[in-house]
Amino acid sequence: MRLLLLAPPGAGKGTQGERLAAWSGARHIAAGDLLRAEAKAGGLLGREIAAYQARGDLVPDQIVLDVLTPAVTEAAARGGYILDGFPRTLPQATAAAELAARLGVTLDAAVYLHAPEPVLTRRLLDRASQIGRSDDKADVIRHRLQVFAETTRPLVAYYAERGILVTVDADQPPDSVTADIQARLSELSPTRPRRHGSGFRS
């Protein structure tokens, strides 16, 4: 199975990505986590990435592609992937499509998780009090939501045009969101062989 999660900050793509990976056997590739690991490793590149993340700005496309491509390539050769937070820009989407074509694979679905902005803000502020990520501060949260609206949301139309967009209401308890995603994905290919009873294309 190969899919991507398209979602504003706070919509629960990390949680859903982990669950879908455990359920399907595909690898959960979380762009933010891989970039945070790179930032933590330090060095010039790490410090540059950390600065973008702390401000809530997107890390430049080329850096993201350099960090993500090996993980995507490896996962494509195994059980597939759940891309969480990648792509986030149109050039990244184009590059991801080119990479998939080079690897001889296609994307089964782009899952768009949506929720009202006040819900997203409240969840991120709750997480801030629990985990304390450097970008979970009120002004940075506002900026990240704006970056999503301006730069990432256009990908919803991009994947709708390609006929693989699945839209799910993320303003529900996590179990209901997972169930909705699974149901919607199962509808995509009712006649194809089922994997782990899921109806996923694999």
Residues that bind ligand AMP (CB under 6 A): 9, 31-32, 35, 52-53, 56-59, 64, 85-88, 92, 135, 144
Nearer to ligand AMP, 89 or 178 (CB): 89
Nearest approach in angstroms of CB 158 to ligand AMP is 14
Structure-token match 């899919």, residue found: 3
Nearer to ligand AMP by Cβ, of 27 and 88: the residue is 88
Sign of CA dihedral 65, 71, 74, 77: negative
**Strand blocks (E) in 56-105:** 81-84
Structure tokens at 148: 């999503």
Question: Least distance to ligand AMP from the beta carbon of 192, Å?
Answer: 29
Two tokens, residue 149: 């609206």
Distance CA 72, CA 107 (A): 12
Q: Min. distance of Cβ 49 from ligand AMP in angstroms?
A: 8
Question: Residue 106 CB, nearest distance to ligand AMP (Å)?
Answer: 20
Separation CA 61–CA 40 (nearest Å) = 19
Q: Which is nearer to ligand AMP, 76 or 199 (CB)?
A: 76
